[in-house]
Amino acid sequence: MSQPQEGPRLRSLNKLLEKCLSETLNNFSYAKVAQCFPTLAREKPKRLNDAHAQVLTFLKTNVEEEFKLILKKRNIPEKLNELDALIAKAKQREKDGQSSVQSTMYNLCPKTIIRAKTIPLKENEIKRLESEFLKISQENERLMSELRSKKEQSNFITLPVIEAITEINEIAKAATEIPVEEMHAIIETIIRL
């Protein structure tokens, strides 16, 4: 299997890797390693320098291999080259003055495209919420009607009780105003009847 030809985006990605790797490895200097291992740097600087060079080579090789493996595994070179080809075709159509719905879509800003995609979803959600609101309103009306009915029933039951309590209170008040001997006489008269 041959290597895909490097398009502009793949070249940029590889340059970015080189730049990042170079900056990272430049920060791993011999001076910094010598600070970490001062005794070794003083007594055997050649050995420390060799170890430093081996680590640098290992890191560079290992990172590059891993990067290539990831690119291959995810099919990145082909995808980037395909993207380059699509962009080139679109630019050529634009240059030739061809216009289509798809080509005008490239001129739209991301917010407009997202809004166009989300409007139907939002409309469906509004319909669902309106339906839910109608169900809740109907349920509330049914519960209010039930509550009014229960209140009427409770009034029908409590009104005679309130009247009886009022009558008992009036009798008790009247009874407290009558002297005790007179009350005994009334009670005995009622018992004899």
Summarize pLDDT for 32-89 with one digit per residue, the tens.
999 999 999 999 999 999 999 999 999 999 999 999 999 999 999 999 999 888 888 8
Confidence bin at 16 (pLDDT 50/70/90): very high
> Tokens 């309103």 appear where?
137
The tens digit of pLDDT for each residue in 94-124 reads: 788 765 555 455 677 778 878 788 888 999 9
Q: Map residue 98 onto helix, strand or coil.
A: coil
The whole-model pTM stands at: 0.46
pLDDT tops 50 at residue 141: yes
Note the pLDDT of residue 54: 97
Going from N- to C-terminal start, the domains of the chain cover: 8-107, 112-192
The structure tokens 């790797």 sit at: 21
Find all residues with CB under 8 Å of 5, minimum gap 6, and list them. Answer: 81
pLDDT given at position 26: 92
At residue 74's C-alpha, the angle toward residues 13 and 69, to 5°, is 75
Size of the chain, expressed as the number of residues it contains: 193
Contact 103, 94 (CB under 8 A): yes
